Amino acid sequence: MNKIVDAVTAVLCHQGQILLVRRQPFLRAFSGYHAFPGGKVDPEDAQGATPDARWHGFDPRIVRALLREISEEVNLDLAAHPDWIKAVRHLGIALTPAPAPVRFNTHFFHVELDHCDTLTPDLHEISDCEWASAAQWGQRYEEGEVLLAPPTLHTLQALAADANAISVPALAHENRFPYELPLLETLRGVRQILVRSHTLPPAQHTNCFLLGDAQTHRVLVDPSPADEDELERLVAVVGRFGIHEIFITHHHADHHERANVLARRLQVPIGMSADTQTRIRARQPHYFDELTVNAYQQGDAVCRWQGHAVRVLEVPGHDEGQLALMPDNRAWCIVGDLIQGIGTVVIAEPEGHMGRYYQSLEKIIALAPRAIFPSHGMALGGTYRLSATLKHRQQREQQILMLHQQGHDPDAMLPIIYAEVDPRLLPLARMNILSHLHKLREEGVIHG
């Protein structure tokens, strides 16, 4: 059974304004997202001073955690200044849906302030903080300017509709719209459908994206249901919106399995790079029977988002024909398997090439989209994770070079470099070693 951890969130309100912090891009969870201050309930929260009468009826452990998190994250000490609090109400509890490995049971408190000092964010977790009305935050979300986790969005929407709301029913995921598959819209207009696929562990799903402004060309990216039941669920979700085309980022099966079946069923064309089409046809000669195939290349427009053309970017390396998608205003980029939110990218020859992989990382880093959507895992704010991935690869390459100079072959390198890796993944890790060695030979750094 997945572990459930208590957590707290503070919806701080002062003079009709609500505080959101922006999480640092280097954090592992919800990096770059706008969020309310909060965090886990720690063991030490079980002991301590009794909260004042304003908190009567609430679990003291939860209240102490809430006050501690507010103080730590934005340097607002409400425990020392309880008179600054005008009113408190419990808005509800958001429990992270299964199958997350750790599920957070998060208590949302609306804390209305009579007084508020200048806030100082804890730069270990927060890059900045800002006050705005619930309606203003909602408008910024509608315009695609902020990443918001669903509980944050639903809370802002409830308070925009009624500033005195005593509860937010949509905090409970079972009260949200019952899509047949999990559907997230952390950035307005980029709908992320979690589809169970035959992907590499530890990932279990491939992100399927539904793009395209209303009343315009709508595109479904990388549908890859693992079986017929998952396909039926995906058909039901897609049917609620309607699509005009399926788009495949690259030829690996966990990005297009049953996509051809879906295309025939919905009577829509299927788009991809010419290289991807060639590789799929080589493995499945009849894959494209009765289908119209659109070939895309660098700069082609696929659809529109917030009025901006969404264009193709060629990002070879993991796969020679891999394509990314980004609107002209660079608000976001769907990067396929350029990075992984879960697990590690494999660079396997013949379709993989480590040198071009480095170049593709550098290309997206230079373009600096405000948000990154990988094919596995959650959206990420900024390009920090891309830069960290490139740096990690460069360090790994230096380690492989050193071991090669010491006379180690790839099999001897494996237990040294990947001592902690799941043994089932070692053949894939070996492929990465071989790709690094190939790159070093191409560059003339090593010979033979």
Percent of the chain with pLDDT over 90: 88
Residues 255 and 325 in one domain: yes
What's the mean per-residue pLDDT of the chain?
Answer: 95
Sign of the alpha-carbon dihedral angle for 164, 166, 170, 173: positive
CATH of the domain at 124: 3.90.79.10
Residues 11 and 58 in one domain: yes
Residues 307 and 428 in one domain: no
Residues 167 and 201 in one domain: no
pLDDT of res. 420: 84
Residues 283 and 370 in one domain: yes
Peptide bond connecting 99 to the previous residue in cis, omega within 30 degrees of 0: yes
H-type alpha helices, 120-227: 134-142, 150-161
Counting every residue written for the chain, the total comes to 448
What's the mean pLDDT in 361-382?
96
Residues 250 and 164 in one domain: no
Rounded to 5°, angle at Cα 355 from 351 and 356: 60
Distances (CA, A) of 245 to 165, 209, 298, 300: 41, 12, 18, 15
At 342, the pLDDT band (50, 70, 90 cuts) reads confident
Which among 175, 192, 221 is the end of a domain? 175
CATH of the domain at 344: 3.60.15.10
Residue 344 lies inside a defined structural domain of this protein: yes
Residues 196 and 114 in one domain: no
Question: If residue 187 lies in a helix (H) or strand (E), which one and from where to where?
Answer: strand 183-187
Residues 210 and 357 in one domain: yes
Is 77 or 343 the better-scoring residue by pLDDT? 77
Residues 375 and 270 in one domain: yes
Which among 175, 200, 229 is the end of a domain? 175
| pLDDT tens digit sequence for 388-428 | 999 999 999 999 999 999 999 999 999 999 988 888 888 99
Distance in angstroms (rounded) separating the CA atoms of residues 194 and 216: 24
Residues 284 and 427 in one domain: no
Residue 269 lies inside a defined structural domain of this protein: yes
pLDDT of res. 34: 98
Domain hosting residue 405, numbered range: 398-442
Three-state SS for 221? strand
Three-state SS for 267? coil
Residue 448 lies inside a defined structural domain of this protein: no
| pLDDT tens digit sequence for 262-284 | 999 999 999 999 999 999 999 99
Spatial contact of 339 and 372, defined as CB atoms under 8 Å apart: yes
- DSSP-assigned letter for residue 148: B
pLDDT of res. 107: 97
Residue 447 lies inside a defined structural domain of this protein: no
Residue 46 lies inside a defined structural domain of this protein: yes
Spatial contact of 128 and 29, defined as CB atoms under 8 Å apart: no
**Residue 338 reports pLDDT greater than 70:** yes
- Structure tokens, 220: 């479904």
Percent of the chain with pLDDT over 70: 100
Question: If residue 305 lies in a helix (H) or strand (E), which one and from where to where?
Answer: strand 301-305
Three-class HEC string of 21-49: EEECCCCCCCCCCEECCEEECCHHHHCCC
For the chain, what is the domain count? 3
| pLDDT tens digit sequence for 136-175 | 999 999 999 999 999 999 999 999 999 999 999 999 988 8
- Residue among 436, 313, 304 at smallest CA distance from 372: 313
Is 422 or 43 the better-scoring residue by pLDDT? 43
Residues 259 and 363 in one domain: yes
pLDDT of res. 238: 97
Distances (CA, A) of 397 to 68, 187, 346: 43, 35, 14
Residue 282 lies inside a defined structural domain of this protein: yes
| pLDDT tens digit sequence for 212-227 | 998 899 999 999 999 9
Which among 175, 205, 233 is the end of a domain? 175
**Residue 1 reports pLDDT greater than 70:** no
Supply φ then ψ for residue 45, to 5 degrees.
-70, -10
- DSSP-assigned letter for residue 279: H
